[in-house]
Amino acid sequence: MPPLEQLTILAPGLLGGSVARAAHARAVAKRIVIWARRPETRLRLREQPWCNAVADTPAAAAQNASLVVIASPVDRIVPLAAEIAGVLPPLACVTDVGSVKGEISRHASKLIGRGAHFVGAHPMAGSEKTGWEHSSAELFERRTCFVTPLPDTDATAVDRVARFWSDLGAEVVTVDADKHDEIVAHISHLPQAIATTLCSFLAKKNPAWRNFAGGGLRDTTRIAGSDALIWRTIFEQNRDEVLRALQHFEDELHGFKAALANRDYVEIAARLERGKAYRDQFRPAP
Amino acid sequence: MPPLEQLTILAPGLLGGSVARAAHARAVAKRIVIWARRPETRLRLREQPWCNAVADTPAAAAQNASLVVIASPVDRIVPLAAEIAGVLPPLACVTDVGSVKGEISRHASKLIGRGAHFVGAHPMAGSEKTGWEHSSAELFERRTCFVTPLPDTDATAVDRVARFWSDLGAEVVTVDADKHDEIVAHISHLPQAIATTLCSFLAKKNPAWRNFAGGGLRDTTRIAGSDALIWRTIFEQNRDEVLRALQHFEDELHGFKAALANRDYVEIAARLERGKAYRDQFRPAP
């Protein structure tokens, strides 16, 4: 794809900063314009080689954008879409990095209107570290990026946004916004709920025991160190799908416990084998 | 401690092989004698620089031992203790690497008798990879090794076994055998049950989704790739403690789900914060 004339990034954290670095490193855009909420962040962004200009408002940043990435936490995506809706050039595309897509896509699409297009996205990359200071030009490489149109989203806009993310190095998976929410409830939000719950339980039981743990507990609980506010909002936004996934996980765990209670070690072994077969098929880490 | 005259290792896998390599590298023993069940393994062990002699039977290997490490899976520890009990020199110490300690220690101590001493141990080191071919001289470095006496275990023998493990690089924690089983039910066996259950659930739901997952699911489920037979036996041996830990984890998870169902996001945030506070206090990875 020829480079974008102007890429605008709103509210860069780890993901938005990485979009800017990757776009700069891969010459995806001729010009990168960024807006950040805090004046002191704006000052520091001005000094970055991957930032051509810093704007004082979201609207000023979006004014001449070919493509806008709203990189804020999920609860700020729709308000930011509202702030820029009036100034977008015709045919501009707006995408985001939010972990939840259904409701947000419907609201944002309505706000962005007809001339420009909202096409949601969700790169499955990140870290328990937050902030643009930890961002990296390689963050998206060989990572899945969901692109999540609604049934009536303009097909050309979907293609442009999908191409943008693949130009940053991601492996794009295009999937309906509501289906996306079901998938991430299982492969991302459920593991977070489990890791958090294991930690909050062990904290209650005896926190000193963590010092004896091997690599197993360390890895199983790593994501419990993630930012609590970000995750509170994700659970709020994807409540129904997460509740369903939790219910089914509880049923599966109850089955394991029942087999153990009944001394049914053939069943325990079968579950261990099933889990191992599933885990062994993971593709190698990027 | 002056080096042991003879260190004997029975049934080396990842852990037993690592004991041999670490003892060799750190000059913990003048002579390392190994017995393995399979003749072809015995042939290959003869070629290893960290193995001075290979014996054809457990009794032959243990005959002149100052210290014996039974490195077999948990269900073979007591039978191997029975095989060597008659030939051990007076004052010889026998230890093991089993993940479960209470019942095994009581049986093995009774078999080993009075002249020699059984002092159980459990190094919290390992890998989802098994086999002595993957062993390493550094496996125990900065890792916890539980040393698990019974109330009537000889204090000098406990000291000698504790010193042995610390000479291999481990950080020794001496704790009653039954208390050990309660601790590892929480920090090792419960995480295994959870990782296995998450995988067996997702396998049922839609295995293709794993290809979209980020590092979170990958880390949370890593130990689900562990050997199923080894873990079947561990769950069998530590059934009661694991059942208790599972019950309390279920209660904690149910609390998370109830908060989400009730839209009590203050409670969700509090649990995320509690989990994060616990996880943030992990000591750095070795």
Model confidence pLDDT, tens digit, residues B205-256: 999 999 999 889 999 999 999 999 999 999 999 999 999 999 999 999 999 9
**Could you tell me if A208 and A150 lie in one domain?**
no
Confidence of residue A162 (pLDDT cuts 50, 70, 90): very high
Cα distances from A286 to residues A124, A216, B204, in angstroms, run 12, 21, 25
> How many angstroms separate the CA atoms of B223 and A155, rounded?
42
The predicted model scores a pTM of: 0.88
DSSP three-state, residue B133: helix
**Could you tell me if A148 and A219 lie in one domain?**
no
**Could you tell me if B71 and B138 lie in one domain?**
yes
Q: What is the CATH number of the domain that holds B196?
A: 1.10.3660.10
Residue B128 has pLDDT above 70, yes or no: no
Residue B72 maps to a domain: yes
DSSP three-state, residue A241: helix
**Could you tell me if B135 and B196 lie in one domain?**
no
**CB < 8 Å to B208, chain A:** none
Confidence of residue A153 (pLDDT cuts 50, 70, 90): very high
Contact A278, B211 (CB under 8 A): no
Provide the mean pLDDT of chain A.
Answer: 95
Contact A32, A51 (CB under 8 A): yes
**Could you tell me if B85 and B46 lie in one domain?**
yes
DSSP three-state, residue B7: strand
Q: Minimal Cα–Cα distance from A74 to chain B, Å?
A: 15
> How many angstroms separate the CA atoms of B235 and B241, rounded?
9
Last residue within a domain, chosen from B119, B141, B175: B175
**Could you tell me if A64 and A129 lie in one domain?**
yes
Length of chain B: 286
Residue A270 maps to a domain: yes
**Could you tell me if B159 and B276 lie in one domain?**
no
Closest-approach residue (CA) in chain A for B146: A212
Last residue within a domain, chosen from B135, B159, B175: B175
The partner residue sitting opposite A210, judged by closest CB among B127, B187, B242, is: B187
Residue B233 maps to a domain: yes
Residue B250 maps to a domain: yes
All residues at 6 or more sequence positions from A171 whose CB lies less than 8 Å from its CB, including other chains: A142, A143, A144, A145
Residue B285 maps to a domain: no
Structurally, chain A folds into a number of domains equal to 2
Model confidence pLDDT, tens digit, residues B4-41: 999 999 999 999 999 999 999 999 999 999 999 999 99
Closest-approach residue (CA) in chain B for A174: B212
**CB < 8 Å to A127, chain B:** 215
Cα distances from A94 to residues A25, A116, A122, B161, in angstroms, run 21, 8, 13, 65
Q: What angle do CA B13, B16, B21 make, to 5 degrees?
A: 115
Q: What is the CATH number of the domain that holds B67?
A: 3.40.50.720
**CB < 8 Å to B237, chain A:** none
Last residue within a domain, chosen from B175, B195, B212: B175
> How many angstroms separate the CA atoms of B215 and B219, rounded?
6
**Could you tell me if B127 and B199 lie in one domain?**
no
pLDDT value for A286 = 65
Contact A9, A72 (CB under 8 A): no
Residue B1 maps to a domain: no
Q: Among A87-101, A171-185, A233-247, B112-126, which is the least confidently predicted range? A: B112-126
**CB < 8 Å to B249, chain A:** 197-198, 201
Contact A247, A186 (CB under 8 A): no
**Could you tell me if B186 and B168 lie in one domain?**
no
Confidence of residue A154 (pLDDT cuts 50, 70, 90): very high
**Could you tell me if B170 and B33 lie in one domain?**
yes
Pairing of strands A7-10, A67-70: parallel
**Could you tell me if A77 and A210 lie in one domain?**
no
Find the domain containing B29 and state its range.
7-175
Whether B139 contacts chain A with CB within 8 A: no
pLDDT value for B121 = 98
Residue A285 maps to a domain: no
How buried is residue B17: exposed, middle or buried, by Cβ count under 10 Å (0-12/13-18/19+)?
buried
Residue A2 maps to a domain: no
Whether A200 contacts chain B with CB within 8 A: yes
> How many angstroms separate the CA atoms of B11 and B3, rounded?
22
pLDDT value for B113 = 79
Average pLDDT over residues A241-268: 98
**Could you tell me if B185 and B166 lie in one domain?**
no
